[in-house]
Chain A
Amino acid sequence: MIEIKDYFRPKSVEEAYEKLINIEGAEIIGSGAFMRLASRKINLAIDLQDTGLNYVKLEKDEIKIGGATPLGEVERSEIIKEVFEGKLIHVLQSIWSVQLRNIATIGGTIFPKLGFSDLITALLVLNTDVVLFNNGRMPLEVFLTEKIRKDILVELIIKNENRKMSFQYMRNSFYDFSILNSAVSVDEERNFRISIGARPAVAKLATKAMEYLKNNNDIEEASKLAAEEMEYGSNIKASKEYRKMIAPVLVKRGLEEVIQ
Protein backbone atom coordinates (compact mmCIF):
# COMPACT_ATOMS: atom_id res chain seq x y z
CA MET A 1 0.00 0.00 0.00
CA ILE A 2 1.18 3.46 -0.80
CA GLU A 3 0.86 5.90 2.06
CA ILE A 4 0.95 9.60 1.32
CA LYS A 5 1.01 11.93 4.28
CA ASP A 6 0.58 15.19 2.41
CA TYR A 7 0.01 16.43 -1.15
CA PHE A 8 1.33 19.63 -2.67
CA ARG A 9 0.72 21.23 -6.07
CA PRO A 10 3.30 24.00 -6.57
CA LYS A 11 2.86 26.86 -9.03
CA SER A 12 6.50 26.89 -10.11
CA VAL A 13 9.43 24.49 -10.49
CA GLU A 14 11.42 26.60 -8.00
CA GLU A 15 8.73 26.06 -5.38
CA ALA A 16 8.63 22.33 -6.14
CA TYR A 17 12.41 21.97 -5.85
CA GLU A 18 12.52 23.91 -2.59
CA LYS A 19 10.04 21.45 -1.02
CA LEU A 20 11.78 18.44 -2.61
CA ILE A 21 15.14 19.17 -1.00
CA ASN A 22 13.92 20.57 2.31
CA ILE A 23 11.29 18.04 3.30
CA GLU A 24 12.45 14.57 4.16
CA GLY A 25 10.44 11.93 2.32
CA ALA A 26 9.21 14.39 -0.32
CA GLU A 27 8.86 12.96 -3.83
CA ILE A 28 7.85 14.21 -7.25
CA ILE A 29 4.92 12.19 -8.52
CA GLY A 30 4.19 11.79 -12.24
CA SER A 31 0.42 11.59 -11.61
CA GLY A 32 -0.06 8.36 -9.76
CA ALA A 33 0.45 5.85 -12.57
CA PHE A 34 1.66 2.54 -11.11
CA MET A 35 1.98 4.18 -7.67
CA ARG A 36 -0.71 1.88 -6.31
CA LEU A 37 1.65 -1.04 -6.92
CA ALA A 38 4.29 0.45 -4.66
CA SER A 39 4.50 -0.19 -0.97
CA ARG A 40 6.11 2.85 0.58
CA LYS A 41 5.52 6.00 2.54
CA ILE A 42 5.73 9.45 0.98
CA ASN A 43 5.74 12.38 3.34
CA LEU A 44 4.96 14.92 0.65
CA ALA A 45 3.75 14.06 -2.86
CA ILE A 46 4.68 16.93 -5.18
CA ASP A 47 2.48 17.17 -8.28
CA LEU A 48 3.98 19.28 -11.12
CA GLN A 49 0.80 19.73 -13.18
CA ASP A 50 0.55 23.50 -12.47
CA THR A 51 4.24 24.36 -12.97
CA GLY A 52 3.97 25.20 -16.68
CA LEU A 53 5.91 22.12 -17.81
CA ASN A 54 3.19 20.81 -20.11
CA TYR A 55 4.20 21.61 -23.71
CA VAL A 56 5.69 20.36 -26.95
CA LYS A 57 7.40 23.02 -29.05
CA LEU A 58 9.84 23.35 -31.90
CA GLU A 59 12.60 25.96 -31.49
CA LYS A 60 15.13 26.16 -34.32
CA ASP A 61 16.46 22.61 -34.64
CA GLU A 62 15.28 21.45 -31.22
CA ILE A 63 12.06 19.76 -30.14
CA LYS A 64 11.35 20.70 -26.53
CA ILE A 65 8.99 18.68 -24.36
CA GLY A 66 8.06 19.78 -20.83
CA GLY A 67 8.71 17.32 -18.03
CA ALA A 68 5.09 17.27 -16.86
CA THR A 69 3.66 16.62 -20.34
CA PRO A 70 1.57 13.45 -20.47
CA LEU A 71 2.70 10.93 -23.10
CA GLY A 72 -0.77 11.24 -24.68
CA GLU A 73 -0.21 14.95 -25.31
CA VAL A 74 3.14 14.20 -26.95
CA GLU A 75 1.49 11.55 -29.11
CA ARG A 76 -1.20 13.99 -30.28
CA SER A 77 1.30 16.78 -31.02
CA GLU A 78 1.44 17.84 -34.67
CA ILE A 79 5.18 18.52 -34.22
CA ILE A 80 5.88 14.95 -33.14
CA LYS A 81 3.75 13.60 -36.01
CA GLU A 82 5.95 15.47 -38.50
CA VAL A 83 9.44 14.57 -37.27
CA PHE A 84 11.44 11.35 -37.84
CA GLU A 85 8.85 10.18 -40.39
CA GLY A 86 6.30 9.79 -37.59
CA LYS A 87 8.32 6.95 -36.03
CA LEU A 88 8.18 8.49 -32.55
CA ILE A 89 4.38 8.23 -32.68
CA HIS A 90 4.79 4.51 -33.41
CA VAL A 91 6.95 4.18 -30.28
CA LEU A 92 4.50 6.13 -28.10
CA GLN A 93 1.51 4.17 -29.36
CA SER A 94 3.18 0.92 -28.40
CA ILE A 95 3.34 2.00 -24.74
CA TRP A 96 0.62 0.33 -22.66
CA SER A 97 -2.83 1.93 -23.25
CA VAL A 98 -4.37 5.23 -24.35
CA GLN A 99 -5.76 5.68 -20.83
CA LEU A 100 -2.35 5.23 -19.21
CA ARG A 101 -0.59 7.49 -21.71
CA ASN A 102 -3.03 10.26 -20.77
CA ILE A 103 -1.72 10.00 -17.20
CA ALA A 104 1.97 9.05 -17.43
CA THR A 105 4.25 12.03 -17.92
CA ILE A 106 7.57 12.44 -19.72
CA GLY A 107 9.37 13.14 -16.42
CA GLY A 108 7.67 10.22 -14.68
CA THR A 109 8.84 7.93 -17.49
CA ILE A 110 12.42 9.15 -17.93
CA PHE A 111 13.52 10.27 -14.47
CA PRO A 112 13.12 6.88 -12.70
CA LYS A 113 15.22 5.24 -15.50
CA LEU A 114 12.75 2.39 -15.82
CA GLY A 115 14.33 -0.73 -17.28
CA PHE A 116 11.21 -1.75 -19.21
CA SER A 117 10.87 1.68 -20.82
CA ASP A 118 10.41 1.68 -24.59
CA LEU A 119 10.64 5.46 -24.77
CA ILE A 120 14.14 5.68 -23.24
CA THR A 121 15.44 3.15 -25.80
CA ALA A 122 13.99 5.19 -28.66
CA LEU A 123 15.10 8.59 -27.35
CA LEU A 124 18.68 7.37 -26.91
CA VAL A 125 19.10 7.06 -30.67
CA LEU A 126 17.73 10.55 -31.31
CA ASN A 127 20.39 12.80 -29.76
CA THR A 128 18.26 13.65 -26.75
CA ASP A 129 19.24 15.86 -23.83
CA VAL A 130 17.52 16.10 -20.48
CA VAL A 131 17.32 19.38 -18.60
CA LEU A 132 17.27 19.02 -14.83
CA PHE A 133 16.36 21.93 -12.58
CA ASN A 134 19.48 21.64 -10.43
CA ASN A 135 21.96 19.58 -12.47
CA GLY A 136 21.31 21.36 -15.76
CA ARG A 137 21.40 20.03 -19.31
CA MET A 138 23.09 16.75 -20.20
CA PRO A 139 22.80 14.04 -22.85
CA LEU A 140 20.26 11.35 -21.99
CA GLU A 141 22.97 8.65 -22.09
CA VAL A 142 24.95 10.58 -19.44
CA PHE A 143 21.87 11.12 -17.26
CA LEU A 144 21.16 7.39 -17.32
CA THR A 145 24.54 6.65 -15.75
CA GLU A 146 24.41 9.45 -13.15
CA LYS A 147 23.14 8.83 -9.63
CA ILE A 148 20.80 11.79 -9.33
CA ARG A 149 17.90 11.33 -6.95
CA LYS A 150 16.71 14.74 -5.80
CA ASP A 151 16.08 16.79 -8.89
CA ILE A 152 13.30 17.67 -11.31
CA LEU A 153 13.25 16.81 -14.99
CA VAL A 154 12.22 20.14 -16.45
CA GLU A 155 12.55 19.48 -20.16
CA LEU A 156 13.53 16.96 -22.79
CA ILE A 157 15.33 18.35 -25.84
CA ILE A 158 15.48 16.24 -28.99
CA LYS A 159 17.66 17.37 -31.89
CA ASN A 160 15.43 17.73 -34.93
CA GLU A 161 17.68 16.41 -37.66
CA ASN A 162 17.33 14.34 -40.78
CA ARG A 163 17.70 11.02 -39.01
CA LYS A 164 15.99 7.79 -39.97
CA MET A 165 14.95 5.65 -37.07
CA SER A 166 13.57 2.21 -36.35
CA PHE A 167 12.16 0.79 -33.14
CA GLN A 168 11.93 -2.97 -32.63
CA TYR A 169 10.63 -5.01 -29.73
CA MET A 170 9.85 -8.55 -28.67
CA ARG A 171 6.75 -9.07 -26.51
CA ASN A 172 4.40 -11.84 -25.58
CA SER A 173 1.54 -9.67 -26.84
CA PHE A 174 1.15 -6.12 -28.13
CA TYR A 175 -0.38 -5.08 -24.78
CA ASP A 176 2.57 -5.98 -22.61
CA PHE A 177 5.99 -4.74 -21.62
CA SER A 178 8.86 -5.54 -23.96
CA ILE A 179 10.96 -8.60 -23.21
CA LEU A 180 13.69 -6.77 -25.10
CA ASN A 181 13.66 -3.66 -27.26
CA SER A 182 16.08 -1.97 -29.61
CA ALA A 183 16.25 1.28 -31.53
CA VAL A 184 18.50 2.22 -34.41
CA SER A 185 18.99 5.50 -36.25
CA VAL A 186 21.24 6.93 -38.92
CA ASP A 187 21.82 10.45 -40.22
CA GLU A 188 22.90 11.61 -43.69
CA GLU A 189 26.61 11.23 -42.80
CA ARG A 190 25.99 7.58 -41.88
CA ASN A 191 26.42 8.23 -38.16
CA PHE A 192 24.57 5.33 -36.60
CA ARG A 193 23.12 5.16 -33.11
CA ILE A 194 22.03 1.83 -31.65
CA SER A 195 20.41 1.16 -28.28
CA ILE A 196 19.15 -1.96 -26.55
CA GLY A 197 16.79 -1.85 -23.58
CA ALA A 198 14.55 -3.96 -21.33
CA ARG A 199 17.51 -6.33 -20.84
CA PRO A 200 15.84 -5.98 -18.19
CA ALA A 201 18.15 -3.10 -17.18
CA VAL A 202 17.62 0.37 -18.56
CA ALA A 203 18.59 0.97 -22.20
CA LYS A 204 22.09 1.94 -23.24
CA LEU A 205 23.95 2.73 -26.41
CA ALA A 206 25.95 0.06 -28.22
CA THR A 207 28.95 2.31 -28.75
CA LYS A 208 31.32 -0.35 -30.17
CA ALA A 209 28.82 -1.32 -32.86
CA MET A 210 28.19 2.37 -33.62
CA GLU A 211 31.95 2.90 -34.03
CA TYR A 212 32.25 -0.23 -36.20
CA LEU A 213 29.59 1.04 -38.62
CA LYS A 214 31.60 4.23 -39.28
CA ASN A 215 34.01 2.24 -41.46
CA ASN A 216 32.14 -0.98 -42.20
CA ASN A 217 28.92 -1.97 -43.92
CA ASP A 218 28.44 -5.44 -42.50
CA ILE A 219 25.19 -5.07 -40.53
CA GLU A 220 25.22 -8.74 -39.50
CA GLU A 221 28.54 -8.20 -37.75
CA ALA A 222 27.42 -4.86 -36.28
CA SER A 223 24.31 -6.52 -34.84
CA LYS A 224 26.44 -9.21 -33.20
CA LEU A 225 28.80 -6.59 -31.79
CA ALA A 226 25.91 -4.56 -30.39
CA ALA A 227 24.39 -7.61 -28.72
CA GLU A 228 27.75 -8.75 -27.30
CA GLU A 229 28.59 -5.45 -25.63
CA MET A 230 25.45 -5.53 -23.45
CA GLU A 231 24.80 -7.31 -20.17
CA TYR A 232 21.56 -9.22 -19.81
CA GLY A 233 19.53 -10.44 -16.87
CA SER A 234 16.65 -12.77 -16.14
CA ASN A 235 13.24 -11.87 -14.77
CA ILE A 236 9.65 -13.11 -14.98
CA LYS A 237 9.49 -12.11 -18.66
CA ALA A 238 12.51 -13.98 -20.00
CA SER A 239 15.90 -15.46 -19.21
CA LYS A 240 19.15 -13.66 -19.90
CA GLU A 241 20.11 -16.37 -22.41
CA TYR A 242 16.90 -15.74 -24.39
CA ARG A 243 17.43 -11.98 -24.36
CA LYS A 244 21.02 -12.42 -25.55
CA MET A 245 19.86 -14.56 -28.44
CA ILE A 246 17.16 -12.21 -29.70
CA ALA A 247 19.20 -9.00 -29.29
CA PRO A 248 21.18 -9.28 -32.57
CA VAL A 249 17.98 -10.13 -34.45
CA LEU A 250 16.21 -6.95 -33.28
CA VAL A 251 19.28 -4.79 -34.01
CA LYS A 252 19.65 -6.29 -37.49
CA ARG A 253 15.98 -5.67 -38.29
CA GLY A 254 16.41 -2.06 -37.19
CA LEU A 255 19.56 -1.57 -39.26
CA GLU A 256 17.91 -3.11 -42.33
CA GLU A 257 14.96 -0.75 -41.94
CA VAL A 258 17.01 2.45 -41.68
CA ILE A 259 19.42 1.50 -44.48
CA GLN A 260 16.62 0.85 -46.98
Chain B
Amino acid sequence: MKITLTINNTKREVEISPSEFLLDVLRRLNYSSVKKGCDTGTCGVCTVLMDGKPVLSCSILAASADGHEITTIEGIEKDPEFKNISNALLEEGADQCGFCSPGLILNVYAMGKELKNPTEDEIKKYLVGNLCRCTGYVPQLRAIKKYFEVKA
Protein backbone atom coordinates (compact mmCIF):
# COMPACT_ATOMS: atom_id res chain seq x y z
CA MET B 1 0.00 0.00 0.00
CA LYS B 2 1.06 3.59 -0.61
CA ILE B 3 1.11 6.20 2.16
CA THR B 4 2.07 9.86 2.34
CA LEU B 5 4.28 11.01 5.19
CA THR B 6 5.49 14.53 5.75
CA ILE B 7 8.92 13.91 7.23
CA ASN B 8 10.80 16.99 8.43
CA ASN B 9 8.56 19.21 6.29
CA THR B 10 9.13 17.16 3.15
CA LYS B 11 6.21 15.24 1.70
CA ARG B 12 7.11 11.68 0.72
CA GLU B 13 5.09 8.93 -0.88
CA VAL B 14 6.18 5.58 0.43
CA GLU B 15 5.27 2.03 -0.49
CA ILE B 16 4.79 -0.02 2.69
CA SER B 17 3.43 -3.32 3.89
CA PRO B 18 0.40 -3.04 6.26
CA SER B 19 2.45 -4.97 8.85
CA GLU B 20 5.32 -2.48 8.87
CA PHE B 21 5.94 -0.16 11.79
CA LEU B 22 6.92 3.48 11.41
CA LEU B 23 10.40 2.87 12.86
CA ASP B 24 11.29 0.35 10.16
CA VAL B 25 10.00 2.61 7.39
CA LEU B 26 11.96 5.62 8.69
CA ARG B 27 15.16 3.59 8.91
CA ARG B 28 14.55 2.20 5.42
CA LEU B 29 14.31 5.82 4.25
CA ASN B 30 17.73 6.50 5.85
CA TYR B 31 16.55 8.49 8.86
CA SER B 32 19.21 6.69 10.84
CA SER B 33 18.96 8.99 13.89
CA VAL B 34 15.80 7.04 14.75
CA LYS B 35 17.28 4.11 16.62
CA LYS B 36 16.05 0.58 16.96
CA GLY B 37 16.52 -0.44 20.57
CA CYS B 38 14.16 -2.66 22.55
CA ASP B 39 11.57 -2.66 19.75
CA THR B 40 8.85 -3.25 22.37
CA GLY B 41 7.81 0.29 23.32
CA THR B 42 10.00 0.58 26.39
CA CYS B 43 13.38 2.25 25.80
CA GLY B 44 12.41 5.43 23.93
CA VAL B 45 15.33 5.51 21.46
CA CYS B 46 12.88 5.32 18.54
CA THR B 47 11.05 8.50 19.69
CA VAL B 48 9.91 10.83 16.92
CA LEU B 49 7.39 13.66 16.95
CA MET B 50 4.08 12.98 15.24
CA ASP B 51 2.16 16.22 14.69
CA GLY B 52 4.44 17.72 17.33
CA LYS B 53 3.82 15.08 20.02
CA PRO B 54 6.47 12.54 21.05
CA VAL B 55 5.56 8.97 20.10
CA LEU B 56 7.29 5.61 19.90
CA SER B 57 7.86 4.88 16.23
CA CYS B 58 8.36 1.18 17.03
CA SER B 59 4.77 1.02 18.29
CA ILE B 60 2.91 2.84 15.52
CA LEU B 61 1.91 1.09 12.35
CA ALA B 62 3.34 3.00 9.39
CA ALA B 63 -0.16 2.93 7.89
CA SER B 64 -1.49 4.76 10.97
CA ALA B 65 1.04 7.54 10.34
CA ASP B 66 -0.34 8.13 6.82
CA GLY B 67 -1.12 11.83 6.40
CA HIS B 68 0.70 12.88 9.56
CA GLU B 69 3.74 15.09 10.09
CA ILE B 70 6.78 13.26 11.38
CA THR B 71 9.77 15.03 12.86
CA THR B 72 13.06 13.29 13.50
CA ILE B 73 16.04 15.01 15.09
CA GLU B 74 17.28 15.99 11.62
CA GLY B 75 14.12 18.12 11.36
CA ILE B 76 14.98 20.32 14.35
CA GLU B 77 18.68 20.64 13.50
CA LYS B 78 18.37 24.34 12.68
CA ASP B 79 16.06 25.11 15.62
CA PRO B 80 17.94 27.10 18.32
CA GLU B 81 16.26 24.93 20.97
CA PHE B 82 18.04 21.88 19.54
CA LYS B 83 21.39 23.62 20.03
CA ASN B 84 20.44 24.69 23.55
CA ILE B 85 19.39 21.19 24.60
CA SER B 86 22.34 19.40 23.01
CA ASN B 87 24.83 21.95 24.39
CA ALA B 88 23.40 21.51 27.89
CA LEU B 89 23.81 17.73 27.56
CA LEU B 90 27.38 18.10 26.27
CA GLU B 91 28.39 20.58 28.98
CA GLU B 92 27.18 18.28 31.73
CA GLY B 93 28.70 15.12 30.21
CA ALA B 94 25.19 13.76 29.87
CA ASP B 95 25.69 11.60 26.84
CA GLN B 96 28.30 8.95 26.38
CA CYS B 97 27.56 6.40 23.67
CA GLY B 98 24.89 8.74 22.30
CA PHE B 99 22.47 5.98 21.34
CA CYS B 100 19.64 7.40 23.46
CA SER B 101 20.41 11.05 22.64
CA PRO B 102 18.15 11.62 19.58
CA GLY B 103 15.11 10.23 21.39
CA LEU B 104 15.95 12.07 24.59
CA ILE B 105 16.52 15.41 22.83
CA LEU B 106 13.24 15.12 20.91
CA ASN B 107 11.37 14.37 24.12
CA VAL B 108 12.98 17.30 25.97
CA TYR B 109 12.15 19.48 22.94
CA ALA B 110 8.50 18.36 23.14
CA MET B 111 8.45 18.90 26.90
CA GLY B 112 9.71 22.47 26.35
CA LYS B 113 6.70 23.15 24.11
CA GLU B 114 4.25 21.63 26.60
CA LEU B 115 5.57 22.67 30.02
CA LYS B 116 6.92 26.15 30.54
CA ASN B 117 8.93 25.78 33.74
CA PRO B 118 8.83 22.11 34.77
CA THR B 119 9.78 21.00 38.26
CA GLU B 120 12.33 18.22 38.80
CA ASP B 121 9.45 15.81 39.43
CA GLU B 122 7.71 16.84 36.20
CA ILE B 123 10.97 16.42 34.23
CA LYS B 124 11.47 12.92 35.66
CA LYS B 125 7.89 11.91 34.87
CA TYR B 126 8.07 13.28 31.32
CA LEU B 127 11.34 11.51 30.55
CA VAL B 128 10.60 8.22 32.28
CA GLY B 129 10.35 6.49 28.90
CA ASN B 130 13.88 7.45 27.76
CA LEU B 131 16.26 4.82 29.06
CA CYS B 132 20.02 5.43 29.19
CA ARG B 133 22.53 2.68 29.96
CA CYS B 134 25.56 4.99 30.34
CA THR B 135 24.91 8.03 32.47
CA GLY B 136 22.83 6.86 35.41
CA TYR B 137 20.56 9.83 34.64
CA VAL B 138 22.24 12.19 37.14
CA PRO B 139 24.13 14.31 34.55
CA GLN B 140 21.11 14.14 32.20
CA LEU B 141 18.80 15.52 34.86
CA ARG B 142 21.37 18.22 35.74
CA ALA B 143 21.66 19.21 32.07
CA ILE B 144 17.93 19.32 31.45
CA LYS B 145 17.28 21.35 34.62
CA LYS B 146 19.98 23.76 33.47
CA TYR B 147 18.42 23.99 30.01
CA PHE B 148 15.04 24.92 31.48
CA GLU B 149 16.60 27.40 33.95
CA VAL B 150 18.34 29.24 31.09
CA LYS B 151 15.17 29.04 28.97
CA ALA B 152 13.08 30.58 31.76
Q: A residues touching B (Cβ–Cβ < 8 Å)? A: 1-7, 9, 29, 31-37, 45, 47, 49, 72, 76, 93, 96-100, 102-103, 174-175
Q: With both chains docked as a complex, state the minimum distance between the C-beta of A144 and any C-beta of chain B, in angstroms.
A: 25
B61 pairs with A45, CB closer than 8 A: yes
9 new A-B pairs (CB below 8 Å) besides A7-B61, A97-B129, A98-B126? A2-B19, A6-B18, A7-B63, A29-B64, A31-B60, A35-B59, A36-B59, A96-B129, A97-B130
Q: In the complex, which residue of chain A has the Cβ closest to the Cβ of B23?
A: A36
Contacts known (A72-B53, A100-B56); A32 close to B126, Cβ less than 8 A: no
Q: With both chains docked as a complex, state the minimum distance between the C-beta of A85 and any C-beta of chain B, in angstroms.
A: 18
Q: B residues touching A (Cβ–Cβ < 8 Å)? A: 1, 17-19, 21, 39-41, 44, 47, 50, 53-56, 58-61, 63-64, 66, 107, 110-111, 114, 125-130
A23 to B22, CA, bound (A): 26
Q: With both chains docked as a complex, state the minimum distance between the C-beta of B5 and any C-beta of chain A, in angstroms.
A: 14
Q: In the complex, which residue of chain B has the Cβ closest to the Cβ of A2?
A: B19
Q: Contacts of A33 on B, CB cut-off 8 Å?
A: 41, 56, 59-60
Contacts known (A96-B129, A99-B129); A34 close to B53, Cβ less than 8 A: no
Contacts known (A2-B19, A7-B1); A99 close to B107, Cβ less than 8 A: yes
Q: Contacts of B56 on A, CB cut-off 8 Å?
A: 33, 97, 99-100, 103
A4 to B17, CA, bound (A): 8
Contacts known (A5-B18, A34-B59); A49 close to B39, Cβ less than 8 A: no
A96 to B128, CA, bound (A): 8
A76 to B111, CA, bound (A): 12
Q: Contacts of A32 on B, CB cut-off 8 Å?
A: 21, 59-61, 64
Q: In the complex, which residue of chain A has the Cβ closest to the Cβ of B125?
A: A93
Contacts known (A31-B61, A100-B59); A4 close to B18, Cβ less than 8 A: yes
A98 to B47, CA, bound (A): 10
A31 pairs with B129, CB closer than 8 A: no
Q: Contacts of B129 on A, CB cut-off 8 Å?
A: 96-100, 175
B54 pairs with A99, CB closer than 8 A: yes
Q: Contacts of A6 on B, CB cut-off 8 Å?
A: 18
A99 to B63, CA, bound (A): 18
Q: With both chains docked as a complex, state the minimum distance between the C-beta of B66 and any C-beta of chain A, in angstroms.
A: 7
Most buried by B among A5, A97, A103, A175: A97
Q: With both chains docked as a complex, state the minimum distance between the C-beta of A193 and any C-beta of chain B, in angstroms.
A: 27
A103 pairs with B18, CB closer than 8 A: no
Q: Contacts of B107 on A, CB cut-off 8 Å?
A: 98-99
- A-B pairs with lowest CB-CB distance, top 9: A97-B129, A32-B61, A7-B18, A7-B63, A4-B18, A4-B19, A99-B56, A102-B53, A175-B128
B19 pairs with A31, CB closer than 8 A: no
A47 pairs with B64, CB closer than 8 A: yes
A141 to B56, CA, bound (A): 31
A37 to B41, CA, bound (A): 9
Q: Contacts of B18 on A, CB cut-off 8 Å?
A: 4-7, 45
Q: Contacts of A31 on B, CB cut-off 8 Å?
A: 59-61, 64
Q: In the complex, which residue of chain A has the Cβ closest to the Cβ of B124?
A: A174
What are 5 A-B pairs at a CB distance below 8 A?
A31-B59, A34-B59, A37-B40, A102-B50, A103-B60
A29 to B53, CA, bound (A): 20
Q: With both chains docked as a complex, state the minimum distance between the C-beta of B22 and any C-beta of chain A, in angstroms.
A: 8
Q: In the complex, which residue of chain B has the Cβ closest to the Cβ of A41?
A: B19
Q: With both chains docked as a complex, state the minimum distance between the C-beta of B45 and any C-beta of chain A, in angstroms.
A: 11
